[in-house]
Structure 1
Amino acid sequence: MKTRGTSLNPTNRYQPIVTDRSEDDGWYQDPPDQLCPDSMATEVTDEQVRTIISRNQSPDVPFDQSINPYRGCEHACVYCFARPTHAYWDMSPGLDFETRLIAKPGAARQLRRELDKPGYRPSPIALGINTDAYQPVERERRISREILEVLLEYRHPVSVITKGALVLRDLDLLSELARQGLCSVAVSLTTLDNQLKRIMEPRTAAPATRLKILRELSAAGVPTSIIMGPVIPFINDHELEHILEAAAEAGALRASWVMLRLPLELDKLFQDWLQRHFPQRADHVMNRIRDLRGGKSYDSEFGKRMTGTGPYADLIRQRFNRKAKALGLRGERGTEPLRTDLFRRPAGDQLGLF
């Protein structure tokens, strides 16, 4: 599939009926007709949400609140840990995840309701965790921008994670939030190799563009960081030091890393991608991944799922920490401290005048 991360669309784990498409029944002709396209358009369905702030108690992430303006992600990163969540909507974590999106147009309105609740206590909200808040569909829908406008009005802290150049469109809001100590932006930077980016993260911003994002945000006073996530053995691990150097030069203040995770259906999707693009390395990569996960493709245990265990995980940690320290990059998993004491409810402030 052109500009897509995978051409597979495996049945999700909740479907009682499985269709086997592995056998050629002669239906499609050669040359291919329109019934067998080499690419697919993106479909977007709207969802009317009843809640918008998601909460977690995971010790592996530095936030307990997040907002996802969209379900599914057109960026099409083949390694995306969020792919299996598309099964909750009776869709495939494969091609469906990239092409059948769900937007939340009422997100900003619902956010106001939740921030206005008397019992709400502010803590930083991470924007764009399960899927990227600045994926291509945001250009027209502008849901992420509307969310930032509400957060600025309420003086609420927010951290953004993205690999989309569209984040620079909202530089006016981000810089004002940052001026008040309410905002930071992390850029996911997995490779400096354009060819690898093209097959691994087809619809994301180019590596040079992501460095430009860091430079422009930093110049505007927005604290920036990078996440090298995921580190993939024998695919991008050799770039670790070069990525950190480029990020520091572009103005990043912090850096962190995450080891490749292959939960549920993602295991099959990633192994298919390996066989297509790196067949001579595929077994070597998967053997190392299993070494990291106690002989399995994935281990979901807290404290291990983000880094893995064993000599290879220790080596990556040592390389990362040594280079980050030399460059003056803070982290390994820390985030920029954001203020919570400025939070206000605009409607409540007005009522208080009477």
Structure 2
Amino acid sequence: MDSDKFKGRGSHIQPENRFLKRKEVFQFVEGLDMPKYEGRPVSKYFSDSVKNPLSKNDSPDLPLSFSINPYQGCEHGCIYCYARNSHTYWGFDAGLGFETNIVVKHNIVDKLKETFKKKGYQPTPIMLSGNTDCYQPAEKKFKLTRQILQTCLNYKHPVSLITKNSLVERDMDILVELAKLKLVHVYFSINHLDPGLKQVLEPRTATAEKKINLIGKFTDHGIPVGIMIAPIIPGINNNDILPILKLASQAGALRAGYTVVRLNGQLEEIFTEWLEREFPDRKEKVLHQIQSLHGGSVRDNDWGRRIKGEGPIAEVIRGIFQQGVKKYLDGRSMPEYDLSLFNPGNQLRLF
């Protein structure tokens, strides 16, 4: 396989989409068929509309009530991304198709404003994004995330965001104003410190160094910042937990969390192919350690265990993380949101 052909992509395969009757077809405008890559894969964008801009979270092991996702699919190409499986519902594959076929929800900002204006609506912090990264490369072109943040500022609505991309710096002007009103929390996802690993693990994201620098810059401007070390993959990045916590703390981070990797659905095939390609000498060891986190399987749907794992390796990871938090982040916390400011009648002009 020509590795240069797939430079900048996490997955090099197209797993079969169980929702499609045919394995290989030409791609139509509607995005209902799986594309074949004869040359170097390029990103394509598909417009879609939404009825409800907010997704409700019913999982008791996730600390959020509602999320908003302006994009479906993600060009970052993170090989471990749990959102890959949901892309098959749209008629694409969870491998290269997830990274190259991006659905843009063009009316999501208007629908969000309609939601805020509904009689009886009660403000609760919304997360950008619960599924795919809101600052992936598509955002540079479509600017939906910026418009969502501006809408939250106009209506004085609390919002949090998590990203792996330095494009978030572009919107620091809005984030500063939200922070002054205690209406925003920003999280950076940092799960390793090795630039070489980044190129194959999450190829189109910002480097850890860049994200650490942005933590410092945001902190200097009064924007509260936390980090997520997610996911921790035993045998790949677990040795970076303490160094990440130390550097993030020195830059001004106020909070940290973590998850461990799980390989539900087609992720097992995609991740295994990646291990064979990038770390063949570690493949069996890494897979066995992931299995040990999840009751003997790389897959896990059990609430609680699926996020942090269980067993000896999970306990070691938990102990290292807790040790680092106590040493580097003790006494720090994110500020409480001010929900009293919400103003559904606000008609401030966007931009």
Structure 2, unaligned stretches of length 5 or more? Answer: 1-5, 26-35
Cα distance, 1:51 vs. partner?
1.2
Q: Distance in 1 between matches of 2:335 and 2:347?
A: 29
Question: SS of the counterpart of 2:306?
Answer: coil
Q: Deviations over 1:256-308 (max 9, x none)?
A: 11000211001110011011111010000001111111111111111111011
Which stretch of structure 1 is more off in the superposition, 219-228 or 206-215? 206-215
Q: Distance in 2 between matches of 1:341 and 1:98?
A: 40
Question: Are the aligned partners of 1:254 and 1:329 in contact in 2 as well (CA < 8 Å)?
Answer: no
Question: Percent identity between the aligned chains?
Answer: 39
Q: Distance in 2 between matches of 1:169 and 1:296?
A: 41
Question: Are the aligned partners of 1:175 and 1:220 in contact in 2 as well (CA < 8 Å)?
Answer: yes
Question: Are the aligned partners of 1:134 and 1:144 in contact in 2 as well (CA < 8 Å)?
Answer: yes
Cα distance, 1:347 vs. partner?
4.9
Question: Are the aligned partners of 1:71 and 1:101 in contact in 2 as well (CA < 8 Å)?
Answer: yes
Matches within 5 A, 1:203-352: 203-329=204-330, 336-347=335-346
Cα distance, 1:328 vs. partner?
2.1
Tell me the amino acid that sits aligned with residue 152 of structure 1.
L
Q: Deviations over 1:55-76 (max 9, x none)?
A: 1121111110110010000011
Question: SS of the counterpart of 2:82?
Answer: coil
The root-mean-square deviation of aligned C-alpha atoms, in Å, is 1.9
Q: Distance in 1 between matches of 2:245 and 2:102?
A: 33
Q: Distance in 1 between matches of 2:272 and 2:198?
A: 17
Q: Distance in 2 between matches of 1:35 and 1:77?
A: 19
Question: Are the aligned partners of 2:71 and 2:103 in contact in 1 as well (CA < 8 Å)?
Answer: yes
**TM-score scaled to structure 1, two decimals?**
0.91
Q: Deviations over 1:128-163 (max 9, x none)?
A: 220000011111111000001110011000001001
Question: Are the aligned partners of 2:225 and 2:334 in contact in 1 as well (CA < 8 Å)?
Answer: no
> 1:5 aligns to what?
10
Question: Are the aligned partners of 1:217 and 1:224 in contact in 2 as well (CA < 8 Å)?
Answer: yes
**TM-score scaled to structure 2, two decimals?**
0.91
Structure 1, unaligned stretches of length 5 or more? Answer: 21-33, 350-354
Q: Distance in 2 between matches of 1:223 and 1:330?
A: 15
Q: Distance in 2 between matches of 1:231 and 1:347?
A: 42
Q: Distance in 2 between matches of 1:329 and 1:102?
A: 41
> 1:60 aligns to what?
61
Aligned length: 333
When residues 72 and 260 of structure 1 are mapped into structure 2, their CA distance, relative to the original with a 3 A threshold, is: same
Question: Are the aligned partners of 1:62 and 1:335 in contact in 2 as well (CA < 8 Å)?
Answer: no
Question: SS of the counterpart of 2:307?
Answer: coil
Question: SS of the counterpart of 1:96?
Answer: helix
> 1:102 aligns to what?
103
Q: Distance in 2 between matches of 1:261 and 1:35?
A: 28
Question: Are the aligned partners of 2:73 and 2:99 in contact in 1 as well (CA < 8 Å)?
Answer: yes
Which stretch of structure 1 is more off in the superposition, 92-101 or 9-18? 9-18
Runs of 4+ with deviation above 3 angstroms: 16-20
Identify the match of residue 36 of structure 1 among 17, 31, 38: 38
Tell me the amino acid that sits aligned with residue 212 of structure 2.
L
Q: Distance in 1 between matches of 2:279 and 2:38?
A: 25
Q: Distance in 1 between matches of 2:168 and 2:22?
A: 41
